[in-house]
Every structure is written in structure tokens, then in C-alpha cells.
Amino acid sequence: MIRSFIAIEIPDELKNDALEIQKRFKAVSADASWTRIDGIHLTLKFLGDVEEKKIEEIKRVLEEIARGTQRIKIKIGGVGAFPNQKMPRVLWIGIRNEDGELEGLYKRIDAELSEMGFEKEDRDFKPHLTLGRMRSQKGREGIIKLLEEFKDKELGVFTASDIRLIKSELRPQGAVYTELGRFSFGR
């Protein structure tokens, strides 16, 4: 079985900007686990454990979806938390796409893969980059202050030109990511 997901990679410059914000949150000494630079990506669909024989079929589906997708202009900015700012569990930086292409891509991937037997998403699409996860509420007050400070912080804009199928191996030092396939947008 191969634990995998589908994502859009973020340019290194913007990842580094995200890590600068993350450093401010780390300084609060909250009880949290923090995302490493190689873990900062825009997840479109988490597949979980996939049989090896299904990987090639997933690649074919993603190739076809990508071919029919135009490049997507993505804005990164605005720091927030799930489930909300007052009880932060997941700290994130927001993702926006004005023309709806990103959500359209997400829906196409979800629909095509549900036909292959993958579970259809039942939550609204809330694109984000995860900065970290709170393990307890220790340091919460400091985190809440920083969420307020960075809520409107814009990091930048980039144009996504592909989607990637990524293998995620869980190891004691954290997840190790390996690209299984890259699928360029056709338009």
C-alpha cells in the first residue's frame, strides 16, 4: 500500500515566507507540531493507503484532468486557524483563486477519483497551507494574538502549472515525501 495525496507545489520563495511567519508562532512556545518546509504544499485530495496497482490508473486520470486545465493564478495570504481563531487546532495560511479554476480542479479530481472508488469529500473546499497543529491549548493566548496580527498578511501570488501525485511515508522524524508523478496543465 502506498500512502499518497494529490497536491500543487508552492514556489520555494513563498514557502520561505511562510516559514518566517511560522517562526513567529514558534516563538510563543505553544505545544504544537510544526510543518517542515518540504511539507508545505496545497493538498487537493488525500488518498490514504492506495494499492500499488491503482497508482497507474490514478496517474492516467490526473494526466487527463491536467491536460484539460489551464494554468491557475493563486494568491497566498491571510493567516487563520481551524476550527476557529478562538480555539486554534490547525494553523494555516490561506489560498485564494479569484476565477474559481482551483475549486473546479478540486471538484474534477474528487469526482473522477470517486468513480474509482475513493471516498468523495463531504466538506467544503478550504484551500490552505498548514503551518502547524496544536497538541494542547498551552500557549493559546499568544497564538491568538499572532493570528490577529497576521490575519491580513499577504505573501504573494504564483501561477500553478501542474499537479503532483505524492507518496507520503510516515517515519519517526516525520513524513518523507516522494513525487510519483507530475502532470502539466495543458492550456
Catalytic residues: 41, 128
- 124 CB-side CA count, 13 A: 1
DSSP state of 1: -
Q: Say if residues 135 and 61 touch (Cβ distance below 8 Å).
A: no
Residue 49: how many CB atoms within 10 A of its CB?
Answer: 8
DSSP track, 105-128: HHHHHHHHHHHTTPPPP-SPP--E
Please state the φ and ψ torsions of residue 27, each to the nearest 5 degrees.
-65, -20
**Look-up of cell digits 475549486:** 103
Q: Say if residues 169 and 176 touch (Cβ distance below 8 Å).
A: yes
In 51-185, beta strands by DSSP E: 72-83, 88-96, 128-134, 154-160, 162-171, 174-184
**Look-up of cell digits 484551500:** 127
Cross-strand partners of 75:
96, 157
